[in-house]
Amino acid sequence: MQSNKLLSGDSTKDSVRLWQSVILQALLDCGNLSRSLDQHYPDWKHRQITEEAREWFREAGDDFQDVCAMAEMDSGLIRKFAMRVARGDAKAKKSLIEWRDWFRKLKKERVNDIRSED
């Protein structure tokens, strides 16, 4: 089954989705919207995660550029969007939540597709 994925290009699509999920998680962290996933963390840890994510977008270093390239996303647009999320822009946060929900739905569909292949 794995060789079929490699030949069909599914592996490449999965790789792009993986890197897109890295950006999505960083954006959620940047907007302090991932707290519900890690409720057991103390407040200081949530603040640290938020600040590290914001710094990652602010600095837009090589790692950030590489992740955006592998996710096939424009680093300039992602950075600009992240800064809006970090400032608490309500429209940006709403868009981010919509993207998160769409991404979850896509993930569930992909898991169902893989299960049906077996």
Structure tokens at 13: 């699509």
In a domain, 5, yes or no: no
Into how many domains does the chain fold? 1
Predicted local distance difference test score (pLDDT) of residue 31: 94
In this prediction, residue 118 carries a pLDDT of 59
Domain contains 95: yes
From CA 90, how far away is CA 10, in angstroms rounded?
35
Is the residue at 76 inside a domain? Answer: yes
pLDDT number for residue 49: 92
What is residue 8's predicted lDDT score, i.e. its pLDDT?
A: 46
- Residue 3 domain-assigned (yes or no): no
Structural domain boundaries enclosing 32 = 11-117
Residue 51 forms part of a structural domain = yes
Domain-located, residue 100:
yes
Residue 1 CB coordination number (10 Å): 7
Counting as low any pLDDT under 70, the low residues of the chain are 1-11, 35-38, 108-118
What tokens appear for 34 in the block? 């991932």
